[in-house]
Structure 1
Amino acid sequence: MAIGQTPSATPILDETRTARQRRAWLVVAALFAFMALSYADKVVVGLAGVDLLRDLHMDAAQFGVVQSGFFWLFALGAILTGLLVGRIPARWLLGGVALLWAASLLPMVWSTSFTVLLLTRMLLGFAEGPTAALAFGVTHSWFPAERRAVPTALVSAGVTAGPLLAGPVITAVIGTWSWHAAFAMMAAAGLVWVVLWLLIGREGPEPAGHPKPLTAAALPARVPYARLLTSRTVIGIAVLFFATYCSAAINVSWLPLTLRQGLGYDAATAGWLVTLPYLAGALLMVVFGSVSQALTKRGRSNRVARGLLSCGLVGAGGLATVAWPTLTPGAAQIAMLTLGSGLVAGAQGAAWSLVSDVVPARQRSATIGVLVAFYSMGGVLAPLVLGDLVNGASTPLAGYRLGYTVLGIVLATGAALAGWLINPERDTARFAAHAREAAPLTGTAAPLS
């Protein structure tokens, strides 16, 4: 035994480390549920779409406006909450966000007004704007940089698990009672999550220290935002997320109606079928998150392990999305639709890890807020465009086929452009070189803000 070492020192350290790990994975589980609830809230209107069109006397274009309205204040919510990060503990920010979700759902428990539906969707979008920034920021605070891929993928999987779990349940509630009851159920679920989060939620210790460098050049403690946000990797991430969010927005907004109005499935069957893309996405997200982490351990660059992997998945998903409308309705068509959506969703875990590769810890929340503000425009535009295409087509199926073909082209093009832009090693080296040049001759680091 070394001089001065107590017999209990190592067991105490091991116990502390084990307790911290348990807490970290408990927080990951809570954030998984957080993301799941956020996306379950989004799909309520889509699953109730046929009934809402009838009861609120809407056409396809108006329905597109409602679904687009969800994203009108999305960016504002992300940016405003980003300003509060660091000033208010994440425990209270996430709890407040989920509480606002529940409040936005309650009016539709009794209302049958188109205006009320639009306003409540706008409020829900405002509350859900900061969801990604908060959830991934807290997740990254519990794990060192080289171990973030899997927990990030698990939290990301909530995006697909929410609709996967909620689809059959919400459809059954609507069929048994009404769409009003579905809104009541989701509001109650949000309130339950708030209580649980306030009991167990907190930020981890990682932001307090300097992140371990993942590349040959260490990431500076701070990078000027003008340089950071105009770097090719951050622009590439924004392009990739814009394309993938177009897909997510259309699936959340229009997939149930595509299955019912376009392909002719009944409500119960559509409620189950709508879960298939989300099931594929949840599984592939975890699988490719593990693949990404394994590639990193084997010495592959972050450009390959996270960037090119994510872009390749999105590009392949885009090609499948272009292909499925050309098939006749049936099992093969549903399988191709599921594959396209699943591959795009499967890219999310590795893609989000790119942010921590090039963005200093103290600037991540603000940067994610800017990314959310940009890619949320895909959510604004995509449902509107599809609604107009369906409204102007000779048949609903023709409109849906054209809309998904356009979506596939957007995905494939966005993936190719992002793959060309994203290179974390190159940009991190440039940030480090700029930091050295900005340092005074005495050798003391100069502020980079």
Structure 2
Amino acid sequence: MRSLTQVQRLSLLLLVVTGVLNYLDRSALSVTNAAIRQDMGLSLGHMGLLLSAFSWSYALAQLPIGGLIDRYRPRLMLTFGIVFWSVAQALCGRVNSLASFLGARILLGIGESPQFPTAARVVSDWFPLEKRGFPTGVFNSASPLGTAIAPPVLSLMLVTWGWRAVFVALGIAGLFVAVLWWSAYRNPDQVRLSDEARAVIARPEPAPKASGGLKTWGRLFRHGTTWGMIFGFFGSVYLNWLYLTWLPNYLQMARGMDTIHSGFAAFVPFFCGFIGCLVAGGLSDRLVRLTGSTVKGRKYLTIGAMFGMAAFTVPAALVHSNLLALICISAVIFLANVASTGSWALVSAVAPPQQVASLGAVQNFGGYIGGALAPVVTGYIVQWTGSFVPALLVGAAAASLSALVYLFGVRKPIVPSAEIQS
């Protein structure tokens, strides 16, 4: 019989490992951007399409994936996802045309879609409602940690082996991680716990395996809270994904850095994002205690961080000093991950208990529509204007507008449908 604390810690560790791999794979194209353009003769606009292809398929795959996770549970669905995305990542290293590259990136987006809805469901399964802020911050920290590691590590791999080897090596590593997740993680009904531990994580109503089916899933869209989370997450991910996909290339093109220096410089903002996730988790739980509301505590943190993202992006775009720009960008990425942690913690605060993954995936769908638009819009703006400044200002505006959507659109939890309660 395991202790609840042991299970919680192992679950979070596994989510961080799989999440770091997830973001290493996502970051590979942005790190190898210049080398691929030179080798394959692609324009900035073409690269924008490649960078956004992942996000379009990832966003669309979010719509069914949440319900599948709620039905078939995290252990099976994330194992399948890791294997799928690892094969797709390896295929990216074997492409010989823009069309085949787009196809591989689309497959990568589909494969990676279970990661964060799975993480939200795992936290919901293993932690009580009022204490989900910190574990949400921990699993969410994998995204900036993986993104921080990617530029220096993948840049060294790039200059040593070439860009194709980067993708193949990551694909092989992913298959080992899939085995690790399947071997080590268990769903709550597969673990022997004491009655006291089971009472801590008990749901307020019976927990059937199914989430209520397509009809019940569709009822989520009848609630204003659902739409507020869709459009609220849009601007947060838009601005974050702008930096995620273009930062190394921005540092080279606009700030005059070479591949190695830009790789190590890009490490700093994303490591700040890692710290932001850890800070946000505890802060979110504290705000819940101060406000007496899980919804307000999670929401206010998200809104404040999103306005901060926009505020620091403006000087990041306009200052001449590379050091000052990097400081501002670091502040943006720090706050972007505070906002993301708040958004994911908000999911379990407003979702019906058996639809946490479903609502998380729906919110993520809205976010990654923004994530899909950000790289292609940025690529074409830079191609047309010769400057990253207007692209960054568009991102700041998107984050500000979406913060207002969270403020006025997300007010109360979603009442579970009769099918879930029965």
TM over 0.5: yes
Select which of 145, 160, 175 maps to 2:129: 145
**How far 1:419 sits from its partner (Å)?**
1.5
2:195 counterpart of 1:189:
no
Query: 2:321 matched to which residue of 1?
Result: 329
Question: What's the CA shift string for 1:164-210, capped at 9, x where partnerless?
Answer: 12221100010112111211221122112111111111223679942
Select the structure that is richer in helix.
2
Question: What's the CA shift string for 1:279-330, capped at 9, x where partnerless?
Answer: 1111011112101112323453234321011110111111111221111032
Q: Tell me how far apart the structure 2 counterparts of residues 43 and 258 of structure 1 sit (CA, whole Å).
A: 14
User: Alpha carbons of 1:238 and 1:80: their partners in 2 closer, same or farther (altered >3 Å)?
Assistant: closer
Query: 1:405 matched to which residue of 2?
Result: 393
Structure label with greater radius of gyration: 1
Select which of 236, 250, 256 maps to 2:228: 236
User: Alpha carbons of 1:265 and 1:236: their partners in 2 closer, same or farther (altered >3 Å)?
Assistant: same
Query: 1:418 matched to which residue of 2?
Result: 406
Gaps of 5+ in 2: 190-197, 206-210
Q: Tell me how far apart the structure 2 counterparts of residues 408 and 145 of structure 1 sit (CA, whole Å).
A: 32
CA contact (8 A) 1:138 1:204 kept: no
Select which of 22, 34, 46 maps to 1:50: 34
> Secondary structure, in 3 states, of the residue corresponding to 1:72?
helix
**How far 1:385 sits from its partner (Å)?**
0.8
Alignment RMSD: 2.5
> Secondary structure, in 3 states, of the residue corresponding to 2:3?
helix
Q: Tell me how far apart the structure 2 counterparts of residues 109 and 229 of structure 1 sit (CA, whole Å).
A: 39
User: Alpha carbons of 1:389 and 1:85: their partners in 2 closer, same or farther (altered >3 Å)?
Assistant: same
**How far 1:354 sits from its partner (Å)?**
1.1
Q: Tell me how far apart the structure 2 counterparts of residues 446 and 32 of structure 1 sit (CA, whole Å).
A: 33
TM-score, length-normalised on structure 1? 0.84
Question: What's the CA shift string for 1:261-295, capped at 9, x where partnerless?
Answer: 12111111110111222111110111121011123
Matches within 5 A, 1:113-124: 113-124=97-108
2:92 counterpart of 1:128:
no
Q: Which amino acid aligns with 1:189?
A: A
Question: What's the CA shift string for 1:214-260, capped at 9, x where partnerless?
Answer: xxxxxxx9996566434343332222211111123212221111111
TM-score, length-normalised on structure 2? 0.89
2:93 counterpart of 1:109:
yes
Q: Which amino acid aligns with 2:231?
A: V
Among all aligned residue pairs of Structure 1 and Structure 2, give the percentage whose two residues are the same amino acid. Answer: 24
User: Alpha carbons of 1:92 and 1:19: their partners in 2 closer, same or farther (altered >3 Å)?
Assistant: same
2:310 counterpart of 1:318:
yes
> Secondary structure, in 3 states, of the residue corresponding to 1:155?
helix
Q: Tell me how far apart the structure 1 counterparts of residues 375 and 419 of structure 2 sit (CA, whole Å).
A: 47
**How far 1:40 sits from its partner (Å)?**
1.1
2:320 counterpart of 1:297:
no
Q: Tell me how far apart the structure 1 counterparts of residues 120 and 145 of structure 2 sit (CA, whole Å).
A: 16
Q: Tell me how far apart the structure 1 counterparts of residues 181 and 218 of structure 2 sit (CA, whole Å).
A: 36
Q: Tell me how far apart the structure 2 counterparts of residues 292 and 156 of structure 1 sit (CA, whole Å).
A: 13
Question: What's the CA shift string for 1:362-414, capped at 9, x where partnerless?
Answer: 12222223222222211221111111101101x3xx2x111011101111121
Q: Tell me how far apart the structure 2 counterparts of residues 392 and 368 of structure 1 sit (CA, whole Å).
A: 36
2:272 counterpart of 1:280:
yes
CA contact (8 A) 2:48 2:375 kept: yes
